[in-house]
Amino acid sequence: MKIYYIFTASIYLFSCSFSHAESLVFAKSGPLDYSADISETILKEAYGHLNIDISTETLPSQRALTNANSGVLDGDIHRIIGLENMYPNLIRVSVSINAIEGMVFSKNQGTKIHSWEDLKSFSIGLRIGAKFAEFGTKGMDVSAVATNDQVFKMLDKGRTEVVVSTRIEGLLVSKKLGFANIYPIEPPIASLNLYHYVHRKNKALIPELTRVLKIMEEEGRIREIKTTAIVELLRQYQK
């Protein structure tokens, strides 16, 4: 409780200048992108301390990026570092708000994958717009579809030999669809931090938002929100 009061007081020092309620709409990959849902929860709290309401428009991953970059939307909930080089109207907020473990999933528990190069001999399924997976499998035998559900259904039906997704997406989608014979192949093929991106028209918000997120990070609030969300998601699909 003591930490909560310190956190609230610290945030207040940086929120006073935002006296007018605003609202912003950010792109979010979907449907059912569990990592993006968690990041949205984190950002709603952060923007709330600046007296700004946020909402999201759920779109296929690639279209979400396009609409965020064009200014149709106010930015993107979260992406890997470096997207600003491909989408120059998007500005990355420097505090990591989430992280993903990129995993290979297979119906064969004995599959051995230690690097992206090891995937060259496999047929691979992934979600369109999952940039870390697209970059890592460039030039390989890839079948890309719109949703994670479709990705794992292809694997279940034998249309691909492996899938590249995130650990949380793979485990939760497999639970939801009842695929008990799909396994994550350890170790992760990639571990990546995720960052919030805002369209350059909103760049004036970045200094205050960055300060709020740094406080949330230092006080453990970002970690707390993420842990609670994951526990609730796992409970939701527990048999």
104 strand-pairing partners = 164, 185
| Length of the chain as a residue count | 239
SS3 per-residue string spanning 2-52: HHHHHHHHHHHHHHCCCCCCEEEEEEEECCCCHHHHHHHHHHHHHHHCCCE
Domains of the chain: 2-99+193-236 (3.40.190.10), 101-191 (3.40.190.10)
The pLDDT score that the predictor gives to residue 21 is: 54
**Secondary structure (DSSP) of 185-233:** EEEEEEEEEEEEEEEGGGGGGHHHHHHHHHHHHHTTHHHHHHHHHHHHH
- In this predicted structure, the answer to whether residue 29 has a pLDDT above a threshold of 60 is yes
Residues 200-224 pLDDT 10s: 999 999 999 999 999 999 999 999 9
- Listed in sequence order, the residues at least 6 apart from 119 whose beta carbon sits closer than 8 Å to its beta carbon are 104, 113, 136, 137, 140, 162, 164
Q: What pLDDT is attached to residue 239? A: 54
Note the pLDDT tens digit of each residue in 126-172: 999 999 999 999 999 999 999 999 999 999 999 999 999 999 999 99
pLDDT over threshold 50, residue 2: no
